[in-house]
Structure 1
Amino acid sequence: MASAQVTATTVERPRAYATAGAHGRARDWAEIQERMLVPLYQAVYQRLEVGAATSLLGLGCRSGLALLLAAERGALVAGVEEAPELRELAEGRGLQVAPAASAHSPAGPGEVTARSAYGLPRAAHSLVTVFEQLPYAVRPSELVADAAARTLPGGQVVLASWGPPERCESAAVLEVARRRSPRAPGHGPFGLSAPGALEGLLAGAGLRPAGSGRVTCPFAYADLDEAVRGMLSTGLYERAVEDSGQALVAKELEESLHPFVRADGSVRMTNVFRYVVADR
């Protein structure tokens, strides 16, 4: 089984924000940014006692670290990821990851199955997680309906999103994405951070609230260069890069990060993420 050990990037790289491209940003996600959400993944898995009896599907699993952590607990895991660059990295970690399928359908071109010990495919899962995808969703309700459709009766769905902006030091840094693109989604990354917002998505998908929690996820980087690359890799700046160019977006990101630079040159921001658990 592939290891979920997370280590800092040790190779010095020149600042090449403008030429990183989709593959470079995907690798930056896997090498830099993905580990920032480990406290969220682990808090959910501990609460739900994820283990050998769990068949877990990660919607929007990106490069798959959350799946690896669940697999190390004994769970059967599979993922769905739209971006081919991230999917390639997840598959390189030995994970089964499929392209995104149409909403509401548990089967079709994007169907992905965890396999049992007898090699039989599973078309639905005891746990479906949506850890990172909601801030990008144009229609979050359709994403949640898709998650519910892929969950076994009696199974659970977990939705997660950023906490209140006043509890997230990265809020000022994320503002660069809105400022640099008139096409930025109106809801932004904090569109589901208000009390009851995540819960409001459940009823329409036939899901019942079964608990919630908040998790502190420090974003810590070795230096400004790593911080800029990590934030760009989140996907929240894609439209800003398209509209204003990656060099300009990276420059403004670096300026917005200066208040969080420590005496040793490292960068640290404290953020809160919120999750809800729902029963199907």
Structure 2
Amino acid sequence: MASAQVTGTTAQRTRARATAGSHGRARDWAEIQERMLVPLYQAVYQRLEVGPATSLLGLGCRSGLALLLAAERGAQVAGVEPEPELRELAQGRGLQVAAAAGAPRSAYGVPRAAHSLVTVFEQLPYSTRPGELVAEAAGLALRGGQVVLATWGPPERCESAPVLDVARRRAARPPADGPFALSGPGALEELLLAAGLRPAGSGRVGCPFAYVDLDSAVRGMLSTGLYETAIEDAGQALVGKELEEALHPYVQADGSVRMVNVFRYVVAEQPR
């Protein structure tokens, strides 16, 4: 792939956005990064025939694009998102999104064990307790309902892998488990079985990460939530600079950035 030199203007824009904080990154997620996972959302919805008969709960729904796509298919949708800035953006889209599953109904609370489909699309790669997250998903699914988990595919199938590695290299205390911790064969299935669910199929979906320019690519990657520890330890300006360097091999002749990635999902059933 063609490469490009980092311009002073690009570096200056990245440093300027270092002051935007988590709220700025939340908006970058909604405006830049979230659409990269649309092929994953649509593949799952098509496979499970999501429609008017579906009551869907998205755990870690972020700013809510996956919920909006399900609602377009006629599903009744709700979400849980602990990050205030992302939750505010989702609610601004007219979605029912709570801070936690047990929040009061008057504060966009979500009733427990009332959904035919519970999805965990984005939260697993940066969850420190994935087993607890999957157990929560199982508890929010109706008997006979379904739970879907998703995560990155094998690192050798993901061109974003070296870009994601910046988070590990710039963290003073790198996490024991990186974004590919659950990408190995059987890892998602083991979590589902431990939660009392029955795996019922899986799939892989190509999700190209495409950006108009290098600046947008840096902002999009920073918005994933995978770089928070590195930003705390090394500062956003330095992390952003290293992201630019890691992204160079994927800059196209027209200045756009494109990385080919694969995501994996597993469908499980709640026993009746």
What secondary structure is seen at the aligned counterpart in 2 of 1:155?
Answer: strand
Q: What residue number does 2:235 align with?
A: 245
- Out of 167, 175, 190, the residue aligned to residue 165 of structure 2 is 175
Deviation at 1:111, TM superposition (A): 7.9
Distance in 1, Cα, partners of 2:250 & 2:39: 21
Percent identical residues: 80
Which residue type is aligned with residue 129 of structure 2? R
Q: What residue number does 1:216 align with?
A: 206
Q: What residue number does 1:200 align with?
A: 190
Which residue type is aligned with residue 128 of structure 2? V
Decide whether the 8 Å contact of 1:78 with 1:112 is kept in 2: no
Distance in 2, Cα, partners of 1:213 & 1:206: 21
Deviation at 1:14, TM superposition (A): 4.0
Deviation at 1:246, TM superposition (A): 0.2
Distance in 1, Cα, partners of 2:248 & 2:133: 36
Deviation at 1:28, TM superposition (A): 0.2
Deviation at 1:137, TM superposition (A): 1.0
Distance in 2, Cα, partners of 1:79 & 1:108: 12
Q: What residue number does 2:141 align with?
A: 151
Decide whether the 8 Å contact of 1:29 with 1:230 is kept in 2: yes
Q: Which runs of 5+ in 1 are unaligned?
A: 1-11, 102-106, 114-120
What secondary structure is seen at the aligned counterpart in 2 of 1:32?
Answer: helix
Change (3 A) 1:207 1:90: same
Deviation at 1:47, TM superposition (A): 0.1
Distance in 1, Cα, partners of 2:121 & 2:173: 24
What secondary structure is seen at the aligned counterpart in 1 of 2:58?
Answer: strand
What secondary structure is seen at the aligned counterpart in 2 of 1:198?
Answer: helix
What secondary structure is seen at the aligned counterpart in 1 of 2:116?
Answer: strand
Decide whether the 8 Å contact of 2:29 with 2:220 is kept in 1: yes
Q: What residue number does 1:262 align with?
A: 252
Deviation at 1:100, TM superposition (A): 2.6
What secondary structure is seen at the aligned counterpart in 1 of 2:206?
Answer: strand
Deviation at 1:19, TM superposition (A): 1.1
Q: What residue number does 2:25 align with?
A: 25
Which residue type is aligned with residue 34 of structure 1? E
Deviation at 1:122, TM superposition (A): 7.0
Distance in 1, Cα, partners of 2:114 & 2:191: 20
Normalising by structure 2, we get a TM-score of 0.91
Q: What residue number does 2:151 align with?
A: 161
The structure whose residues are more often helix, as a share, is: 2
1:112 partnered with 2:134: no
RMSD, aligned α-carbons: 1.7
Deviation at 1:18, TM superposition (A): 1.4
> Which of 1 and 2 has higher RCO (CA within 8 Å, sep 6+)?
2
Distance in 1, Cα, partners of 2:70 & 2:18: 35
Decide whether the 8 Å contact of 2:67 with 2:79 is kept in 1: yes
1:66-121: CA deviation from partner (whole Å, max 9, x where unpaired): 000000000000000010000000000000100034xxxxx4559833xxxxxxx6
Decide whether the 8 Å contact of 2:112 with 2:139 is kept in 1: no
1:217-243: CA deviation from partner (whole Å, max 9, x where unpaired): 000000000000000000000000000
Runs of 4 or more above 6 Å deviation:
none
Q: Which runs of 5+ in 2 are unaligned?
A: 1-9
